[in-house]
Amino acid sequence: MATIVSPIEPAIAPSLGTAPGALDRHDLTDRDLIDVYRTMLRIRRFEERVKDLFLEARLYGSVHLYIGEEAVATAACKAIGDGDVISSTHRGHGHCIAMGLETGPMMAELMGKVTGYNHGKGGSMHIASLDHGMLGANGIVGAGIPISTGAALGFWIQERPNVALCFFGDGAANQGAFHEGINFAAGLKLPVVFICENNGYAQFQSVKQDLPIEHVATRAISYGIPGVIVQGEDVLDVYGAVKEAVRRARAGDGPTLIEAKTYRFEGHFLGDPEPYRTRAEVAAARATRDPLKLFGAQLQELGVATAEDLQAIHVQIDDEMERAIEFGESSPEPPASVLLTDIFTGADEHGRAS
């Protein structure tokens, strides 16, 4: 007799986060919590200023904003430490800031300046800083999944106690690389945490059209790893889940697939006319799912910060952004000579030092 192994409504591993209602600050000190807020705000204001600059033609290129999703990168990167790495996506500014990249050289990179993290050669879609463990934004959807798996493979071979975090979108979950990467990582129990930022859309297509099941996390079942769903606007919920997944990864228990339900407040890219969703839908999300507003309220509820404290942070961050822009705009353009450098390490194909 045939055995049905695939129920239509597969069970989801229970959220490793907290039950709704109870505020769990996990192991985060007051200072940590304030830091988390500052990082989320830094991402928000960076993105808002990038949008302004783009509209004023002071910055160019293909730019995808992370506004609305700040809690995911911030919480996840707060749950890792020295020597750990992440892979990112085309929507990578938030991941960069959460990994500690500075906003000045980031802004410079978005402006194509020589002082940018990639010396102006990469731009928004390829921003990277290996020194920070940030293995790169990516122009190819899903490409980071095998790459972070490979970093975890490296840690496993070297027996280093490090982990890799892999950020990717709901759309990326439909790439072949998703299946190959996660299946491989699960087979070797590699120290990697897969974090799907399900923001409801892959470019113009609703996740409802692209995904025949309700949750990306359900797919964890087919790799024999835990699948976890968290509310992406709840920074403490995300933190709890990633912290636990990182603990498992470091302990040699293998990968976890975490799905953060989130929402992008801006268009897919700057300039997107957004024909695929209503203004009302976006307004509703901004009103009820703004991670920054929610966390600000939580901090006050926990007695960690007052409204005035938060206001002071806003002033600091605004000032930082002005300095970042000033840094970017006053930085020089790369010289024409660098067009031909950086192809190889060591001598180039003509035998010239590069």
Ligand X SMILES: Cc1ncc(C[n+]2csc(CCOP(=O)(O)OP(=O)(O)O)c2C)c(N)n1
**93 lies in the site for ligand X, by CB under 6 A:** no
Backbone Cα Rg of the chain: 20
Binding mask 280-319 for ligand X (x = CB under 6 A): ----------------------------------------
CA distance 167 to 90: 10
**138 lies in the site for Mg ion, by CB under 5 A:** no
CB of 140 to another protein, least distance (A): 6
Measure the CA dihedral 7/9/10/11, to 10°: -130
Q: Which does 91 bind (CB under 5 to 8 A by kind): ligand X, Mg ion, another protein, none?
A: ligand X
The structure tokens listed for 113 are 């300046």
The structure tokens listed for 186 are 């699960």
Contact pick of 322, 338, 347, 352 for another protein (by CB under 8 A): 338
Nearest to 193 by CA among 247, 269, 121, 131: 247
CB of 119 to another protein, least distance (A): 9
CB of 88 to ligand X, least distance (A): 10
CA distance 347 to 354: 6
Q: Which does 349 bind (CB under 5 to 8 A by kind): Mg ion, ligand X, another protein, none?
A: another protein
The structure tokens listed for 181 are 């990467």
CA distance 333 to 260: 39
Binding mask 131-150 for ligand X (x = CB under 6 A): --------xxx---------
CA distance 173 to 214: 13
Query: Do 91 and 73 meet the contact criterion of CB atoms below 8 Å apart?
Result: no
Window 45 to 74, contacts with Mg ion (CB under 5 A): none
Binding mask 247-286 for ligand X (x = CB under 6 A): ---------------------x------------------
**Identity of the residue, 171 or 191, whose beta carbon is nearer to ligand X in the bound complex:** 171
Q: Which does 204 bind (CB under 5 to 8 A by kind): ligand X, another protein, Mg ion, none?
A: another protein
- Residues linked to residue 227 through DSSP beta bridges, in sequence order: 257
Contact pick of 276, 286, 294, 300 for another protein (by CB under 8 A): 276
DSSP state of 216: G
Binding mask 109-148 for another protein (x = CB under 8 A): ---xx----x-xxxx-xx-----------xxxxx------
**87 lies in the site for ligand X, by CB under 6 A:** no
CA distance 152 to 129: 18
**10 lies in the site for another protein, by CB under 8 A:** no
CB count within 10 Å of CB 350 equals 7
CA distances 279 to 202, 265, 285, Å, are 18, 10, 10
List interacting residues with Mg ion (CB under 5 A): 169-170, 199, 202
List interacting residues with ligand X (CB under 6 A): 89-91, 139-141, 169-172, 197, 199, 201-203, 268
